[in-house]
Structure 1
Amino acid sequence: MDVETKGKYGKQLINVDLRDELTCSICLNMYMDPVTLTCGHSFCRTCIVDVLDTQNGSGAYKCPECRAESQERPTLVKTTKLRNIADSFRSTYPEQEEEVRIPCTYCDSLVPAAKTCLHCEASLCDKHLRRAKEKVQNLEELRRQVPEKAAGVTERVTALIRDIRKQLEALEKRVLSEISRQEEQISLRVSDLIRQLEIKELSRKMGDIEELCDMTGPFNCPTRTGIRADYYDAEEDTETHDIEGHDVRALDVGLISVTLHSGLTGIVTRISIRRRVPEASDMLLDVNTASDLYFCIKKDLKTVSWSEIDQSRPETPERFQYYAHVLNSSSFSSGRHYWEVEGNESGWWGVGVVYPSMKRKGKRSGIGDNNKSWCLWRRYDNNYSVRHNNKSIQFPHPLSCCRIGIFLDYEAGRLSFYENRRVEEFTHFPNPFPNYHNALFINPLCVCLCIWVFTECHLCVFE
């Protein structure tokens, strides 16, 4: 190695050593406006101010270099000579400053960092800084959503508890009414027996008086009195037997317990169904699918009724031409959904689901008359039946109300019908049809309402 090479190499080593002495241990760059702490270590003014600001309220201030502590915030002493040396070195060797760049903590190669975090002691390049900001934004969005979700859960829980309280109050009224009914019934029976006993007692006294009046002499008294005594004993035995024969019992605790138990069971069943069945979203009927045959849709787009007035709707491919049907405006292709339909008690109406590709014309275009629709029909005589692919199965007994709950579990291929007042499932597809094997829906499903003469039907949301 010649003298010139040795000189350059030695000069580079001196520059490197000097550069290290002029480097801030916080930002790892050359000093900018350096200041010195009481312990003697120097830093860039902005760097040490940021560090001290983060230590506010911690009880002690520590030097980032030697960790020396002080109870009061350290006084920053401006170091003019050190600043002059750093400025001189920076102007004499600008390439040295360019080489001193903090690398990204998370990059495999030496990618310059765009920002350094003093809290986590990590440096990030532009790429990782954007990712970190995205994560922070996602967390902030999650933090904003938490109160909204908590408010929604609180509202649902409050509504559920309110509903439980109402049901318990109604159950309390029923049980107390049953107790009052039994109390009144028993009181009437006891009063009737008391009245009978009083009548007999009065009759007995009247008989005694009549005997005394009928006596003709003193010698007949003992004999007649003995006969009357025997008669009284026999009559008392008869009265005791009559009283015991009467159905005068205490309160029927068994019947009261059954009423209470069945009521509590109904409340628990309803709660379990509300947990299992999702809340129904608001549904609206699609006028473009509504039949023009005696079919009137009210302004709320939830109620259909029979009308003899021609609605003069234009003929479209979506409109039912042969039957008084209408579909809702949206379809279900996944998930679980619940809604309710209420029809008048003297009408003929039906509700179900259909594939949108179901025919709109011809005799097989009715709901339940093909393999693209599933339906529950209610007839004038309060008879119900389920219908699919032109096959019907009738229920052996009528239902107690005209409000029917429908639960669709699309992935499970299950369509269930609930009697609203009892909150009991009374049938579901595909259960009624023994030869029905297609348990999965393969296309989106629409809700369908259908009515017959002088009928009104209303689409409800879950309450």
Structure 2
Amino acid sequence: MAGLAVPVWLAEDDLGCIICQGLLDWPATLPCGHTFCRDCLKDLWGARGARRPWACPTCREGAGQQPQLRKNTLLQELADKYRRAARELGEDPAPGPSRAPAPGPRPPPHPARRQAAVQKSIPEVGQKLTELVEQLVDIVRSLQNQRRYTESGPDNELGILGTTFSSGVNLSLASPRLVTSNTSEGKMRDVLHDLEEIQEKLRENLTWKEASEEQIQVELPEAPSSSSCPLPNQSLPAPKRASRFAPWAINPTFDLQTLSCSLEVSKDCQIVTVSHHPQSYPRSCERFSTSQVLCSQAFSSGQQYWEVDTRHCSHWAVGVASWGMSRDRILGRTIDSCCVEWKGTNQLSAWHMVKETVLGSDRPGVVGIWLDLEEGKLAFYSVANQEKLLYECPVSASAPLHPAFWLYGLHPGNSLILKQVRE
């Protein structure tokens, strides 16, 4: 007698691998109970010579030797049933980036469906996981620096990070090893190293998918004449964007006198990066004590425009400040500075006259800054296919203004890039 068939509603995420963000393919369950694609685990464990190469990507539980990976036949059967049911409904469950689609003939999808499939290939779970890993990295770094900054005031970086975490992070999600006060420095370095590896994998994966989505959206025809028309050529690059601010574009460079000892700049002074080790720059009263830097160029009249690529920095602020800004204060927290700030916790804010204005939860990949001292205003734009206004405020030219930057959180390798504006 056949068993009772109970309908169960499953989403693609329920049978997904958090590494490749596709349906499980040859699912392997680790001793801790978490399951991933076998090939994804092998690729992750073999990447960059991890210190604990056989740790679980989710809970970080490790093993003395590589565990034997066996197929979880129950999950494999569920994933196969989901694929078949999705195809019958006309859907196309997304495989992982390095995984080939399930065999069998498939009719060419309608262009609108292809676009919808690309949009679903960047699931919310991937974004949330990326943000959580960034926050966990911050927690570990703040614990490492706790003794150093215990005596510091509320405006230092740890104080601001602590405020951010207390309002936006559930510390119960972190492993007890991350929040135990007596965790050894060596173990904390290992945990931090592993988290940064996962963070880099996630960033590369999401960046790849976002680039694919933008390319297909540009290439898809609006209304095909028939279902048999050929698919557009996906090898064509997306058209370059010409900025409407190009006539006023400048090419600022970072000023080495103001550069914090926790930062370093490229030879052309176009990239500023959080250093892996404190730098021994010459002592100067012009140097910031926190991870900030100004540009050498100063503006007291006219109209100027520049762009900053923020995609390689998890926590940042960009704006303007006078040369006289106190070197132990934070950008936006003084009356002679103004900025927009991404806190890394799904919040974009603007700071003007020591007052914060929350702008939303969308993170701009490139920020354009328009300084119009003829009309006395400063505007920030999110730059993609066109400029989208984020925030505008009045400014005074009583003192020359410099482009100003803050890379907080002190993640080694985080960087801000001064972009060349296309004409």
Shorter-normalised TM range: 0.3 to 0.5
Higher relative helix content: 1
Q: Kindly name which structure, 1 or 2, has the bigger radius of gyration based on alpha carbons.
A: 1
